[in-house]
Chains A and B, each alone.
Chain A
Amino acid sequence: MAQFPATVAEPGQDSTLVLNMGPQHPSTHGVLRLVLEIDGETVVRVKPEIGFLHTGIEKTCEAKFYQQVVPLTDRIDYLCPLTNNLAYCLAVEKLLGLEIPPKAQWMRVLMNELTRINSHLVWLGTHAMDLGAMTVFLYCFREREDVLRFFEMVSGQRMMTSYFRIGGLALEPPLGFFEKVKKFADRFPGNVDEYEGLLTGNPIFMMRTKGVAHLSAEDAIALGACGPTLRGSGIDIDLRRDAPYSGYENFKFNVPVRTEGDVFARYLCRVQELRESIGMVQQALAGMPEGPVKADAPKVVLPDREKMKTQMEALIYHFKIITEGFTVPAGEVYQAIESPRGEMGYYVVSDGTAKPYRVHMRGPSYANLQTLAKMCEGQLIADVVAAIGSIDVVLGDIDR
């Protein structure tokens, strides 16, 4: 039997092999290409290559009216469209100095937490499937279907919702919506128990995740990790609690933090977040205020259909907003919110016209991707798959 070298080679030496992974690889969760430099089964260096999905959304935004940008934001992080809608709307509302009625704020929180559940379910299903647990995937997508139906109920779309608009919501939620969500929210903790029963104590899953792809707290901050990746390394930060927006200060929830910094820690953080999110959905349902879902700002918010067809003034405003947009006072705003993947920041610059001068999206996946190289160094090739799954990248968010 041949002797294997006891020590791992340095990068760039003759004894290493360069292996291409992706962009068409099932476990890279999109079009991510990794150039792996390996020594035997051990990864010496990882270089992510991105840009395959670059569509120039930031440039497109500069050519649209403020309200026309909302549907573009859906397409950035396509697993949490409502979170993108919210970040953009909050940024523009801050620029305008617009106040949002309480019902719209609570609906935004409710929909955002459902979005987080939706996104985490896709992550959990695919992550478990990457590691060989097929059943979880089917269970997760069963519940995800329910959440997508809720999105369809309120907005008519399953994924590209554009439900939040500048100044409030697009529509009132339909009759029977809250009852259906309530039914789901009562059932869902049992479903999470089901997933955990399949994974949390599972020896195979633990062997594949415990101690794998370790990231220390110092590295996590220096490399710009955010969200569950940062919390899995022991940093206690959650923008919903630390910098509340859209009425999150009215909600009670815990921020799960783990100190181990490995794949299993990030898994535990996210699964616990599922439970916290459904708790917030329950709170939002119980305390949902009555009232309008749009701000009282006729020059910014489109009038109701009914009013538009019966009142002259409403018709004029409608015509003006659609054809000329509305002007936004000059200035700039960086609005950060907690997306399922971490800090999602929208930097919107206005020059006082009806089109944004510059829109920049700070994507959480883009930040988390930079930690991948550090995580994978010295790990086995099979663990690269676990590491990618654990940072939960969405390539639409990275490439924009």
Chain B
Amino acid sequence: MALAPAITDIEQLKAHPALGRLVGWNASVVQAVKFDREELTIWIEKDAIREVCAILRDSPDCPFNYLCDLTCVDWYPSEPRFEVVYHLLSIAKKERVRLKVRLDGSSPAIESVTSVWPSANHYEREVFDLFGVRFSGHPNLTRIMMPDDWEGHPLRKDYPVEGYR
């Protein structure tokens, strides 16, 4: 089974309910798209993420009403350094989509989606704890895995695997 080449053309992928909905709503929030290994990724404008999530959640044809996962990838040392990754699922239509937001390394911050899905609470705390990305509007942005007095963010690529000794 050879890998099919990735598709990055928005026009070709408009049939996907998530992308169709977003382009129909406001095409300027979509920075880029990629369809690779049967999975669709949409890069979203940083300031629009909460609105985009709400729009997708309330989409009449294919509501992406379930937040599967929220995590982050650190692309240190390249910039923009962080990518916050959202995996959404439509329980009714069994469709999936991955949203991504690129963030600068200097002071990474993004709007919280806890007002759209309360389930984002723990995921955003985890990303804050392990990557140091701040989520504005989060009800309780504190460390969740590491002790409260821990210094540094362990999942960043410039943090050594064996820790600072």
B-contacting residues of A (Cβ < 8 Å)?
Answer: 50-51, 54, 56, 58-60, 62-63, 94-95, 97-99, 221-224, 235, 237, 242-243, 329, 331-334, 336, 343, 345, 347, 349, 357-358, 360, 362, 366-367, 369-370, 399
Besides A59-B154, A336-B96, 4 other CB < 8 A contacts?
A58-B130, A97-B3, A334-B96, A362-B71
* Contact (Cβ within 8 A) A370 B146: no
* Contact (Cβ within 8 A) A334 B91: no
* Contact (Cβ within 8 A) B91 A360: no
Which B-chain residue is minimally distant from A217 (CB atoms)? B91
* Contact (Cβ within 8 A) A399 B145: yes
* Contact (Cβ within 8 A) B73 A357: yes
Known: A58-B155, A333-B39, A357-B73. A235 touches B3 (CB 8 A): no
- Once the chains are docked, how many angstroms separate the CA of A369 from the CA of B66? 16
* Contact (Cβ within 8 A) A345 B3: no
* Contact (Cβ within 8 A) A97 B68: no
* Contact (Cβ within 8 A) B37 A347: no
Most buried by B among A59, A357, A399: A59
* Contact (Cβ within 8 A) B118 A347: no
* Contact (Cβ within 8 A) B3 A329: yes
Which B residues between 53 and 111 are near A, CB-CB below 8 angstroms? 65-69, 71, 73-74, 85, 87, 91, 94, 96, 98
Most buried by A among B38, B69, B161: B69
Q: Which residues of A contact B74 (CB under 8 A)?
A: 358
* Contact (Cβ within 8 A) B117 A366: no
* Contacting residue for B69 out of A58, A347, A357, A369, CB 8 A: A347
Known: A56-B154, A222-B117. A95 touches B37 (CB 8 A): yes
* Contacting residue for B122 out of A95, A333, A370, CB 8 A: A370
Which A-chain residue is minimally distant from B157 (CB atoms)? A62
Query: CB-defined interface of B115-131 with A at 8 Å, one 1/0 digit per residue?
Result: 00111011000000010
Which A-chain residue is minimally distant from B119 (CB atoms)? A224
- Once the chains are docked, how many angstroms separate the CA of A95 from the CA of B121? 30
Which A-chain residue is minimally distant from B2 (CB atoms)? A97
Q: Which residues of B contact A54 (CB under 8 A)?
A: 145-146
* Contact (Cβ within 8 A) A224 B67: yes
Interface of chain B: mostly helix, strand, loop or mixed: loop
* Contact (Cβ within 8 A) B39 A98: no
Which B-chain residue is minimally distant from A374 (CB atoms)? B118
* Contacting residue for B155 out of A59, A237, A343, A370, CB 8 A: A59
* Contact (Cβ within 8 A) A347 B85: yes
* Contact (Cβ within 8 A) B73 A333: no
- Once the chains are docked, how many angstroms separate the CA of A331 from the CA of B38? 12
Query: B68 CB to closest chain A CB, in angstroms?
Result: 6
* Contact (Cβ within 8 A) A224 B96: no
Most buried by B among A60, A98, A349: A349
Which A-chain residue is minimally distant from B121 (CB atoms)? A370
- Once the chains are docked, how many angstroms separate the CA of A94 from the CA of B143? 33
A-contacting residues of B (Cβ < 8 Å)?
Answer: 1-3, 6, 36-39, 41, 65-69, 71, 73-74, 85, 87, 91, 94, 96, 98, 117-119, 121-122, 130, 143-147, 154-155, 159, 161
Q: Which residues of A contact B6 (CB under 8 A)?
A: 331
* Contact (Cβ within 8 A) A62 B161: yes
* Contact (Cβ within 8 A) A51 B122: no
* Contact (Cβ within 8 A) B73 A99: no
Query: A236 CB to closest chain B CB, in angstroms?
Result: 9
For the complex of A and B, the 8 pairs showing the least CB-CB separation, nearest first, are A224-B119, A362-B69, A97-B3, A51-B145, A54-B145, A360-B71, A63-B161, A99-B1
Q: Which residues of B contact A243 (CB under 8 A)?
A: 94
- Once the chains are docked, how many angstroms separate the CA of A360 from the CA of B87? 12
* Contact (Cβ within 8 A) B119 A223: yes
* Contact (Cβ within 8 A) A334 B39: yes
Q: Which residues of A contact B36 (CB under 8 A)?
A: 331-332
Known: A50-B145, A99-B1. A223 touches B69 (CB 8 A): no
- Once the chains are docked, how many angstroms separate the CA of A329 from the CA of B6? 12
Q: Which residues of A contact B3 (CB under 8 A)?
A: 97, 329
Query: A128 CB to closest chain B CB, in angstroms?
Result: 28
* Contacting residue for A50 out of B73, B119, B144, B154, CB 8 A: B144
* Contact (Cβ within 8 A) A345 B119: no
* Contacting residue for B37 out of A59, A63, A94, A343, CB 8 A: A94
Known: A367-B119, A370-B121. A221 touches B91 (CB 8 A): yes
* Contact (Cβ within 8 A) B37 A331: yes
* Contact (Cβ within 8 A) A370 B1: no
- Once the chains are docked, how many angstroms separate the CA of A369 from the CA of B69? 14
Which A-chain residue is minimally distant from B3 (CB atoms)? A97
Query: B116 CB to closest chain A CB, in angstroms?
Result: 9
* Contact (Cβ within 8 A) A362 B66: no
Query: B5 CB to closest chain A CB, in angstroms?
Result: 11
* Contact (Cβ within 8 A) B71 A347: yes
Query: A30 CB to closest chain B CB, in angstroms?
Result: 15
* Contact (Cβ within 8 A) A237 B91: yes
